[in-house]
Each structure stands twice: as C-alpha cells, then as structure tokens.
Amino acid sequence: MFAALTAVRLREAVDAADSTLLATKAWMSPDDVQATDLPLARATEKTLASMHAVLVKTAEARARELGEDAEKPGDDDDDVERKARHLRQTRASEVRVVACVEDLRVPPRSDAVRFEAVAVDVADADAGEESRGVVGT
C-alpha cells in the first residue's frame, strides 16, 4: 500500500510543485527548494495520512465485528471452535481498502494526527555518526 500510494502521490506532488519539473531528468527540483517542500516529502505526508486513516478504520471495524470475541482466550475450546474463531478474527482483520477508497483518494486532515515533513540538520546527523565510528558521505 505504501509503495502504490507513494508512486501516485509523488507524481501529483511533482506536477503540483512546478509545471516544468515533469520534463526534467529524474524530476530533480532546483537547489533552492526547501527539504520540506520537495515532492517526495509532500508525497510521503499524504501517503502516511491515507494509510493511517485506512488502518484506524480497519481496527475500528474489527473491534465492532468481533466485539467480546476479540479478547476471548478460548484455551478450553475444542479444535473446531478454535479454528472458527481464528477464521472470524482473520476475516475481521482484513485491511478495509475498498471501504476506505475516499481516504486513499483524498487524505484526511486531522489536528489529532498530522504527518508533516521536518528538515533535518545534516551537520548534526553527520557528527553523531562520526562519534559512533560511522562516517557519512
């Protein structure tokens, strides 16, 4: 799901960033573009928001479907009942991609959970790697 959404979102982000960017080799952004404004950063934000919405709705639907059966240990059940419960739990746990298609098309915006790209200071990151014996290139 991550790869498929990222591919689509990257194309959208490249198109939205600059109308000439699609024609450039490897969709390379100009050097003056901030890290958080790069098409991959924007695409990843949307991808994570969509995936989060789908997974939350899947968990909620599973809880509704299983009710008390979700937490029932069932150690003393016979083999047939144990297999039937496992099948119910497996079906209830299937990712709700089709039911959440709108969340895939338009990622929901939420103040509670926000996915935003953050710039990282490369100098600090390289210093940390050198202290552990790893040298950045």
Tens digit of each residue's pLDDT (9 = 90 or more) over 21-79: 777 777 777 788 888 888 889 999 999 999 999 999 999 999 999 886 655 665 566 88
Q: Is the dihedral of CA 52, 112, 102, 96 positive or negative?
A: positive
Say if residue 100 is exposed, middle or buried (CB neighbours under 10 Å; 0-12, 13-18, 19+).
Answer: buried
97/128: higher pLDDT: 97
108 secondary structure, DSSP code: P
Q: Which residue has the tokens 């969340």?
A: 103
Domain coordinates of the chain in residue numbers?
2-119
80: tokens are: 């047939």
Predicted confidence at residue 46, as pLDDT, reads 92
Q: Dump pLDDT digits (tens) for 121-132.
A: 777 655 555 544
- Phi/psi region, residue 27 (left: phi>0; alpha: psi -120 to 50; beta: rest), is left
Predicted confidence at residue 122, as pLDDT, reads 76
Predicted confidence at residue 63, as pLDDT, reads 92
Q: How far is CA 83 from the centre of its chain?
A: 32
Q: Mapping DSSP to helix (H, G, I), strand (E, B) and coil, where does residue 17 land?
A: helix
Q: Dump pLDDT digits (tens) for 99-113.
A: 999 999 988 887 667
Percent of the chain with pLDDT over 70: 80
Q: Can you give the pTM of this predicted structure?
A: 0.70
Is the per-residue pLDDT at 97 higher than 60? yes
91/25: higher pLDDT: 91
Q: Is the dihedral of CA 103, 109, 115, 116 positive or negative?
A: positive
| Phi, psi angles (nearest 5°) of residue 17 | -70, -45
